[in-house]
Structure formats: C-alpha cells, structure tokens
C-alpha cells in the first residue's frame, strides 16, 4: 500500500536511522545498521525537520520561508511518502 502523508502528519526519522553530515561525502547522509544513504541537499533539508514535533505543513512553511520559494507542497509530500515507503520515516 502506498503511503500518503497529510499536511497535519508528524514525520520522524525511524529508530535505527541517523541523519548526519559526512565530511568524506561532502553531504548529509542517513546512516542505518546495514549502510548509508547519501542525500542531496533537498532531502537533507526535509529530513532535518522530521523530528516528530513538526507537521508536514510546518516543514513546508519553514522551507518556503528559508529558501524564499512557494509551491513546495507536492515535492515535500512526495519525498515524505517515498522516505516512508523506504522505511526511513514514520508518519503519525
């Protein structure tokens, strides 16, 4: 079944995964027991805000404010859905 995050959902990085800056990769990575996922800057910015206390709507609002753009909802929801399907995030 396809995950579908709503704007009032609270995504959080799953237990066993850790987001960190990796100097050797010159990028943020998502570490987990079996390996590492190198993230692009957009993915890292979204995941940095997935702490279980921010709603998807709050994450989108903050990203649009920080980067001075509008219309990020579709892309952020798609990323959160994809990350949830891959087991990186829990969404409540």
Enumerate the β-bridge partners of residue 51. 12
Q: How far apart are CA 46 and CA 28, in angstroms?
A: 11
Q: What is the domain extent for residue 59?
A: 11-86
Question: How many domains would you assign to the chain?
Answer: 1
CATH number, domain with residue 19: 1.10.10.1150
5, 77 in Cβ contact below 8 A? yes
Q: Answer whether residue 4 is part of any domain.
A: no
Q: What pTM did the predictor assign?
A: 0.91
Q: Give per-residue burial for 23-34: e unless 16+ CB within 10 Å, then b.
A: eeeeebbbeeee
Per-residue pLDDT tens digits for 44-88: 999 999 999 999 999 999 999 999 999 999 999 999 999 999 999
Q: Exposed/middle/buried for 56, CB within 10 Å: 0-12, 13-18, 19+?
A: buried
Per-residue pLDDT tens digits for 11-38: 999 999 999 999 999 999 999 999 999 9
Q: Answer whether residue 2 is part of any domain.
A: no
Q: Answer whether residue 49 is part of any domain.
A: yes
Per-residue pLDDT tens digits for 5-15: 788 899 999 99
Residue 3 has pLDDT above 90, yes or no: no
């Amino acid at each position: 079944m396809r995950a579908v995050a709503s704007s009032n959902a609270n995504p959080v990085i799953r237990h066993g995964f850790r987001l960190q800056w990796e100097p050797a990769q010159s990028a943020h990575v998502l570490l987990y027991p079996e390996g590492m996922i190198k993230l692009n800057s957009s993915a890292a910015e979204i995941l940095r805000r997935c702490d279980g206390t921010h709603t998807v709507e709050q994450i989108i609002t903050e990203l649009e404010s920080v980067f001075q753009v509008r219309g990020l909802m579709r892309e952020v929801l798609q990323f959160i859905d994809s990350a949830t399907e891959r087991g990186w995030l829990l969404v409540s």
